[in-house]
């Protein structure tokens, strides 16, 4: 019988406990981790030989409270590549700590995952990104006022001061762009800015972000990417531009639009992931 977590357990021990609970349901080595953002979770439904675990079944996982996030981990295969796909993530704006937000990524690391695909729904700042476009992330701006690495350090997770020169692997970016080209799909590269939310940004804030060099803006992904790099996991980031940011086209923004756009492009998005994931090493 698997032992229960204790309040005195360290973060590393809690993550180990979560990893053991997942291995009890899926004994194969998992090669690729995948986080599916708002409206993009349908990809996990296509995994072969799949097993689904609700987040409530995994010790240490929080609950996803946002519409468009199913709140379960799906383990399965794509072309014999074993994948762990999160249908929904945890956000800082939901009231969770950064430790909660990145707990699944730390768990992926202890499962032995070396490749991570982070996806999100984002607002378009660059006017060349249309609603429904996909953008591969080549860098980010962390404007969330804190780091997920803040606090007590455990060297078993990686370096105290990890290098962030190349958070998003260049070779993974090339694979994504190449496969998009094979689909006759334009896939631009861009910089993703992460803010805490949950309110959408003001037009003045979007003008500031554009000045800073951001192409898209959202409320996730960056904490996960930072922790992945600390743990030596290579990252591919893809944003679905589900709406144009405040002031870009003069229209109001609502979350229903985000979900609707994600649903509209999900077949294209799924095809891109089906092509890219088997090539990640």
Rounded CA-CA distance 276/47 in Å is 14
The yes-or-no answer on residue 91 being catalytic is yes
The yes-or-no answer on residue 55 being catalytic is no
Q: Are 95 and 156 in contact (CB under 8 A)?
A: no
Q: What does residue 257 show for φ and ψ, rounded to 5 degrees? A: -65, -40
Q: Which of 94, 179, 201, 205 is catalytic?
A: 94
Q: Which of 255, 260, 263, 271 is catalytic?
A: 255
The yes-or-no answer on residue 121 being catalytic is yes
Q: Which of 121, 135, 225, 246 is catalytic?
A: 121
Q: Which of 13, 42, 50, 93 is catalytic?
A: 93
Q: Which of 169, 194, 243, 246 is catalytic?
A: 243
Q: Which of 16, 17, 21, 38 is catalytic?
A: 38
The yes-or-no answer on residue 50 being catalytic is no
Q: Which of 19, 69, 92, 133 is catalytic?
A: 69
Q: Which of 21, 115, 220, 239 is catalytic?
A: 220
The yes-or-no answer on residue 239 being catalytic is no
Q: Which of 219, 225, 231, 246 is catalytic?
A: 219
The yes-or-no answer on residue 243 being catalytic is yes
SS3 per-residue string spanning 150-199: CCCCCHHHCCCCCCCCCCECHHHHHHHHHHHHHCCCCEEEEEEEECCCCC
The yes-or-no answer on residue 255 being catalytic is yes
The yes-or-no answer on residue 52 being catalytic is no
Rounded CA-CA distance 16/5 in Å is 10
Which residues form the catalytic set? Answer: 38, 69, 91, 93-94, 121, 219-220, 243, 255
């Amino acid at each position: 019988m698997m032992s229960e977590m204790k309040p005195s357990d360290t973060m590393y021990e809690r993550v180990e406990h979560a990893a053991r609970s997942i291995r009890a349901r899926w004994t194969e080595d998992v090669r690729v981790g995948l986080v599916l953002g708002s409206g993009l979770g349908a990809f996990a439904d296509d995994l072969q030989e799949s097993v689904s675990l609700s987040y409530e079944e995994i010790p240490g996982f929080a609950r996803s409270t946002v519409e468009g996030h199913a709140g379960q981990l799906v383990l399965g295969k794509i072309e014999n590549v074993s994948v762990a796909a999160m249908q929904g993530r945890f956000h800082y704006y939901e009231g969770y700590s950064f430790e909660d937000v990145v707990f699944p990524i730390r768990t992926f690391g202890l499962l032995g995952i070396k490749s991570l695909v982070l996806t999100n729904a984002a607002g378009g700042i660059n006017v060349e990104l249309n609603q429904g476009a996909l953008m591969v992330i080549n860098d980010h701006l962390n404007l969330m006022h804190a780091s997920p690495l803040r606090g007590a350090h455990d060297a078993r997770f990686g370096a105290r001061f990890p290098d962030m020169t190349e958070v998003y692997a260049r070779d993974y970016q090339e694979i994504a762009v190449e496969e998009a080209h094979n689909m006759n799909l334009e896939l631009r590269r861009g910089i993703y800015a992460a803010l805490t939310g949950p309110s959408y940004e003001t037009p003045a804030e979007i003008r500031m972000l554009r000045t800073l060099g951001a192409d898209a803006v959202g409320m996730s992904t960056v904490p996960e990417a930072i922790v992945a790099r600390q743990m030596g996991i290579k990252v591919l980031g893809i944003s679905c531009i589900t709406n144009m940011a405040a002031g870009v086209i003069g229209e109001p923004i609502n979350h229903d639009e985000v979900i609707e756009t994600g649903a509209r492009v999900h077949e294209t998005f799924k095809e891109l992931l089906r092509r890219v994931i088997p090539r990640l090493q």
